[in-house]
Structures are given as structure tokens and as C-alpha cells.
Amino acid sequence: MLRWFFILFGALGMAWFLLPVCTALIVNIGNVTGVIVFGLILCGAIWNKALLRRIRTLCASSAGSVCFGAIVCIILCIFLLAGVLGIQMIRACAKQDQEDRTLVLLGCGVYGERPSLMLVERMQKAYEWMETHPDSVCVLSGGKGAGEQISEAEAMYRWLTTKGIAPSRLYKEDQSTSTRENLLYTKKILQQENLSKRIRIVTNEFHEYRAGVIADKLELDHCALPAGTAWWLFPTYVVREMYGILSERFF
């Protein structure tokens, strides 16, 4: 019974991480990692007897036992690290308040001139806030990347103004190509336009923690306004974001 549980668990996990590939041709380090991990679980469950024989053979010697123990420890540390990062992501999303702050809407992919689903999720959250807080202003932060005919800032500007948000409430930052540049160049706009340096970061929930880490390094007083993420994209981008957090922390 346990074997069949892990076969089902591995197959469903692989399918979840493959969904972005099959439906939107999205391939990144997040779903590659997920497919590998759940693929190993699936293969281990299918060929469990052969795997157990190899483990017994390996552990028959002292060196093999040490090697196997080291592998187990590394795997446990990886899962522990993933758990810690997951908790930090959750805590970052909880850092919210109702104070007067400048909204900073972080860009995401644009297909030609069409905003990606995740960018729409972020824009919808910013729009809802600006509708209920008519005095709020927003910096739209995102440059023009590969495959984009307009900058992400311009795509956000068009979408929000079409929804009825006054152009005078929007400031475009259209040079950035990364989260770090988003916030670095936004800080310059805050200074140039004499806007409040206290900011409310609008992005998908998995992205709030890393954005907050960068904001802290730039000495920006910040809180979160997290947007939801489509269920079929969520695991792929959470795992991808964990790599981004480690890169930001250590490199």
C-alpha cells in the first residue's frame, strides 16, 4: 500500500510541475527541479526492491555506510532549508498595514504587448487597493525584456488607466530588468518625485520575501500587498523563487 502511495505521489507531483510546460511552454529551474525530485520518488517507488538491494550493498562497507548517511543528511538539510524559506515567505506576506505608503508594483513577463497571467494578478491587486484608497499613488516598475514589444511598466500603465486609474497617480520606471533593479530605480523615482519613501510592495505572494530582503538592503521602509498565484503555476514559481532567495542572500 505504501509503495502505491509513493507511486501516486510521485506521478501527481511530476504532473503538477509539468503543467506550466504543457499549457504555457514555461520551463525554468523551478519546474525542472520539481520534475527531477518527483521523478526520483516515482522511480524509487516503482523499483523499490532493486533500490533497497543497492542500499544494502552500499551499506555493507563502512565507507558505503558513511556515504549513504551523508546523502541522507544532505537530503534532509535540503528539505529543512525549503521549509525555512517557505515559512519566511509566509511571514513576509503577513507584513501588511493600512498606513499611507507609495505602492510599488513590480513587473513580470509581457508577451508582445499582452501582460502575463502573473502580471495581471499583481495589477489586479494594485487596482483594488487604489480603488479603495483614492489618494494613493503607484510606481510601475519593469523594463523591456526579450520577447516584449513594450516595457512592463508601459503594459501596467495601459492596463490600469484602461481600468479608470488616473495617469497622474502612476509613475513609470521602465529601465529595470531584475527585482533588485526594480527597487533600486524605484528609490530614485521616489526621491525625484518627492514621493513617500515608505512603500507597499505589490507582487505575487511567493516573491514578497525576496523583494523585502532587497528593500531592507536599500533602506526602504516596506510592507507587503501580496497577490495570489494560479494554482498550476504556484509550485513551479515557489521553487524557482527559493533559488532566487539563496542567490540574493549569499551571492
b/e map 17-33, b = 16+ CB within 10 Å: bbbbeeeeebeeebbeb
Give Cα 206 to chain centroid, integer Å: 4
Per residue in 14-44, pLDDT tens?
999 999 999 999 999 999 999 999 999 999 9
Q: What is the pLDDT along the chain (251 residues), one digit of tens a residue?
A: 788 999 999 999 999 999 999 999 999 999 999 999 999 999 999 998 898 898 888 888 888 899 989 999 999 999 999 999 999 999 999 999 988 999 999 999 999 999 999 999 999 999 999 999 999 999 999 999 988 999 999 999 999 999 999 999 999 999 999 999 999 999 999 999 999 999 999 999 999 999 999 999 999 999 999 999 999 999 999 999 999 999 998 87
Q: Given CA atoms 8, 14, 16, 22 in this order, what sign does their dihedral have? A: negative
Q: What are the residue ranges spanned by the domains of the chain?
A: 2-93, 102-250
Q: Does the global pTM surpass 0.75? A: yes
Distance CA 123, CA 151 (A): 15
Distance CA 158, CA 142 (A): 13
- The verdict on domain 102-250 having CATH code 2.60.40.420 is no
